Structure 1
Amino acid sequence: MRGPVTSLLFERLVRPPHRFGLLSLPLLSFPARFAGPVLEDEDVQLALFVCYELHHRGFEGVDDRWEWNPSLLEVREILETRFEEGLARAVRYPPGSRPEQTRQALAELVAAAVDGPDLTGFLQGQADLEQFREFAAHRSIHHLKEADPHIWAIPRPGVRPHAAPVEIQADAYGGGRGGRMRPEPFRATLRELGMDDSYGAYLDRVPAITLAVSNAMSLFALHRRHLGALLGHLAAVEMTSSASRHLYSLGLRRLGRPGGDEVARCFRDEHARGDAVHERIAADDMCAGFVTRHPSRAGDVLYGAACALTLDRLFAEHVMGHWRRGASSLREAGAATRS
């Protein structure tokens, strides 16, 4: 629990589904509650993550009927509104582009993103083992369910043909072979680092900005009005992950790879090569194809990509800022947040 909203939310969710008035959520409906940066608000981001997680894996001891409980959806809507306002303040809505310019526009967004702190380069050449473990704890929040939010793009009307997102997601899910699903190499990496590879193991330790990275994916995925942003977000991930995964692998090799799982390393590099192919498919076939059919939503595609890149930059600033001070980028286990 990180504040009044998550405190009450956790207390309610372990009970059978019921209706509770919004006024019972302390300060939730008052704008002053959100006077600070929402992307860094521990209470808001964890509460929203919990609401979204009910649409993914759920929680042990929480009734599945909470997923579509109207009362909880009202709470989620308030949290989402604040989150969308925070994203809008952090990310300028890009001007639209013609279909043939979509790839270039995406590439320019990716190129501009390198102005942030070079977390990837630091992990490759300087990070020690404990810093790698911290980084893995952060990334475990969405890497262990990496393809799940983006899969919502496939059935949405407006994505024609479906072949582009299907091809990307099929690889992410290992082509039907469980051991080759993209989260599995990451689990092996966690084990190599002597860490817990179970889903959500480090939820209590990661800060608000880490949760915001995951929440943006779920926000775009669960709302059909955000389809363009979801496609742009997926494209940005595919256009940046190939190089970064390769550099992570180099950093782990530099540290001597505790655990010695050669298969995990091969899969990690294999996925990096696959992401290079996905980059073209995502930018040309998926995003440009969507803009061709929906030219008025070109800005949505670029906005989703910009949100992904901006949140990654803010995440890198958080991590590198703490490491430069000689501090941990993770929260203390069980730490409460004052509101």
Structure 2
Amino acid sequence: MKIPEPRGPISSALFGVLSGQPGSSQESLDELRRLVTGQLARTADIIADDDVQLALFCLYELHYSGLESVQDEWEWEPGLIRVRQLLEKPFEAALRSAAQETAGDLDLPARADLTSDAVADVLFGLAARDTGPSVSRFVARKASLMQLREFLIHKSVYQLKEADPHTWAIPRLSGRPKAALVEIQADEYGGGRPDRMHSALFARTMRGLGMDDQYGAYVNAVPAISLAAVNLMSLCGLNRRLRGAITGHLAIYEMTSSQPNRLYGNGFRRHGFDAEVTHYFDEHVEADAVHEQIAGRDLAGGLVEAEPGLFGDVLFGATAVMAIDSRLSAHLLGSWENGRSSLRAAVPAAA
């Protein structure tokens, strides 16, 4: 991914450090840590902080496909990992606060009753009570062509590397939950066919609307909340202690996917697009109806049955994604219904 434009002092200083040589920038790293500490003390809402979320997004990107012109050795530079941890700690705290508010007075089974079916029932109950603003209904009935493009831009930050954050959990699981996750991910990656990978299907949708399908092409255009949604996945996927959270995240992701994707596909069909564009959404209608059962019962439920102490983290991952998605939906609909763009900056209509 190309290094995006900085959004404040933290991201600006980070990109300056990354332009240097790993292992020879200790003074710059010390200065960056002091800067991060000072800026965080002045941050009122870390989830909506453009500078923090962009910096964290780019630090995580070093563990994925990397950043253009940044040496790979930066990935495990101890000083840079400490910077990432400085940003992660308050971000996780804010996510836990938002997740707790979303969970509310959820009726939970006793620890002795934490069977895989009981865990799945809790997660399905959570998914069913998701009553936040519906972007999918707006897309199906009202969205203009420009708003459809904006919708794809927001989604592209994750969808062009779809499934990767959840894959980090595979070596951290065993037995039934591991087999369940591998089964889900095999479908996400196209069952061995590159053209059927879900990221490739999404790229095809973007090309159908004349958009740039290169990963990260629109990072400069999306607001902090869109980056925070991806950073949540990376936080949970990259930290082994949060393996329960990433399974809960995936379970809710699958449980709340089928019907919205049906509506998304209808919205694109309403504008005259054919299966070449809608295939991505249509594929998820069928696939996620199966995945939700595997993710709820065998993955998340199987993990808690084997390690009951992880139930709280499973709930954290599930409720955190619901809280962030609700904020993102409110941003999109609030912008569109008031005749504004949901993006930070205008982008070309076509690649």
TM over 0.5: yes
How do 1:140-151 and structure 2 match up within 5 A?
Answer: 140-151=156-167
* Aligned match for 2:118, one of 89, 101, 108: 101
1:10 is aligned to 2:23: no
Check if 1:319 corresponds to 2:324.
no
Return the offset for 1:25: 4.7
Q: Does the 8 Å CA contact 1:22/1:29 hold for their aligned counterparts?
A: no
Q: Which residue of 1 aligns with 2:128?
A: 111
**Structure 1 position 62, deviation (Å):** 0.5
More displaced 10-residue stretch of structure 1: 173-182 or 240-249:
240-249
Distance 1:159 1:305, change over 3 A: farther
Partner of 2:3: none
C-alpha change, 1:127 and 1:102, in structure 2 (3 Å) is same
Q: Aligned AA for 1:46? A: L
Q: Residue 250 and residue 333 in structure 1: after superposition, are their counterparts in 2 closer, same or farther (change >3 A)? A: closer
Amino acid at match of 1:269: D
Distance 2:277 2:244 in 1: 34
SS in structure 2 at match of 1:122? helix
Match of residue 38 from structure 2: 30
Instruction: Quote how far apart the aligned CAs of 1:270 are.
Output: 2.6
* 1:325 Cα offset (Å): 2.0
Task: Give me the whole-angstrom Cα distance separating, in 2, the residues matched to 1:295 and 1:84.
Answer: 22
Shift of residue 140, structure 1, vs aligned partner: 0.1
State how 1:128-139 maps to structure 2 within 5 Å: 128-139=144-155
Distance 2:174 2:311 in 1: 13
Q: TM-score, normalised by structure 1?
A: 0.93
1:218-260 superposed Cα distances (whole Å, 9 cap, x missing partner): 0000001000000000101111111111111000000111xx5
Distance 1:117 1:196 in 2: 28
Q: Which amino acid letter does the alignment assign opposite residue 186 of structure 1? A: F
Instruction: Give the Cα–Cα distance (whole angstroms) in 2 for the partners of residues 201 and 154 of structure 1.
Output: 29
Kindly state the Cα deviation for residue 158 of structure 1 after the two structures are TM-superposed.
4.9
Q: Where do 1:69-218 residues align within 5 Å?
A: 69-92=77-100, 97=109, 98-99=114-115, 100-113=117-130, 115-158=131-174, 160-218=176-234
- How big is the shift at 1:33? 3.2
Structure 1 residue 324 displacement after superposition:
2.1
Structure 1's 252 and 157: CA in aligned 2 closer, same or farther, altered over 3 A?
Answer: closer
Deviations 1:281-317 (A, max 9, x none): 0001111111111112212111101111111111001
**How far is 1:104 from its partner?**
1.5
1:230 corresponds, among 240, 246, 250, to: 246
Partner SS state of residue 168, structure 2: helix
**Structure 2-normalised TM-score?**
0.90
- 1:68 is the counterpart of 2:76: yes
Which one-letter code corresponds to 2:342 in the other structure?
Answer: S
Identity %: 46
Q: What residue number does 1:337 align with?
A: none
Question: Offset at 1:24?
Answer: 3.9
Change in Cα spacing, 1:185 to 1:72, as seen in structure 2 (3 Å) is same
Superposition pairs for residues 209-288 of structure 1, below 5 Å?
209-257=225-273, 260=274, 262-288=275-301
Q: In the alignment, which of 300, 305, 310 is matched to residue 297 of structure 1?
A: 310
Please state how far the C-alpha of 1:42 moved relative to its aligned partner. Answer: 0.4
* Equivalent-residue separation in structure 1 for 2:137 and 2:346 (angstroms): 28
Residues 1:32 and 1:14: Cα distance change in structure 2 (over 3 Å): closer
Which residue type is aligned with residue 246 of structure 1? Answer: R
Letter matched to residue 11 of structure 1: G
User: How many residues are paired up?
Assistant: 330
Cα distance, 1:157 vs. partner?
3.8
Indicate conservation of the 8 Å contact 1:8/1:25, yes or no. Answer: no
Q: State the secondary structure of the residue aligned to 2:129.
A: helix
Structure 2: give runs of 5+ residues left out of the alignment: 1-5
